[in-house]
Amino acid sequence: MYWQTKSFVFLRSLVAAFLGALITRPAGALTTTMTVFLFTDGPAPGTSTDITDYTLGGSSGYVAVAPTFSGVINLANGNIGILGSALFVGDDTDPFVPATYLGYLVTNGTTTIYGGESFDEPMGIGADGDFIEVDVVVPLPLNVATE
């Protein structure tokens, strides 16, 4: 007899431990500290996109941000995740350089994309004090289909 997993169910305790490791010990979760970048050009993030597919940053005062993560949160359909906040603010550089952003990427700080998404519509930082705040939700489903 033989059986191959078709729909593995993670217990909440294991998923919460994975997500907790992303917050408190990124190296223990085999990652580095996450960094959020905004992009001005590139495709919608997908499973095979590469950091070189994107133009990052651009506006005055722009810097990539290490998000501040909360603890584990409950999501739809009984899944759980972590919530991180990343704030990008235009500064008073003269002359000010505006930029329009299409979405964000969560990376290892350099070359590896962990995830991301395109905004529903472009968002701009056009003047000193303009800001974009991204609440990044990193989900981890409890029920995972394998086929």
Overall average pLDDT of the 87-112 stretch: 89
- Residues 73 and 112: beta-carbon distance below 8 Å: no
| Predicted local confidence at residue 40, as pLDDT | 96
| Predicted local confidence at residue 6, as pLDDT | 59
| Predicted local confidence at residue 48, as pLDDT | 85
Banded model confidence at residue 80, pLDDT cuts 50, 70, 90 = confident
CA distance 33 to 50: 18
Mean pLDDT estimate for the chain: 82
Alpha helix stretches (DSSP H) within the chain: 12-24
**Measured between alpha carbons, how far apart are the two ends of the chain, in Å?**
19
Instruction: Check whether 16 has a pLDDT greater than 80.
Output: no
- Residues 29 and 21: beta-carbon distance below 8 Å: yes
Alpha helix stretches (DSSP H) within 6-128: 12-24
- Hey, is 98 helix, strand or coil? coil
**Backbone angles phi and psi of 14, in degrees to 5:** -70, -45
Strand ranges inside 45-109, DSSP E: 55-56, 68-74, 80-89, 99-107
Overall average pLDDT of the 109-134 stretch: 90
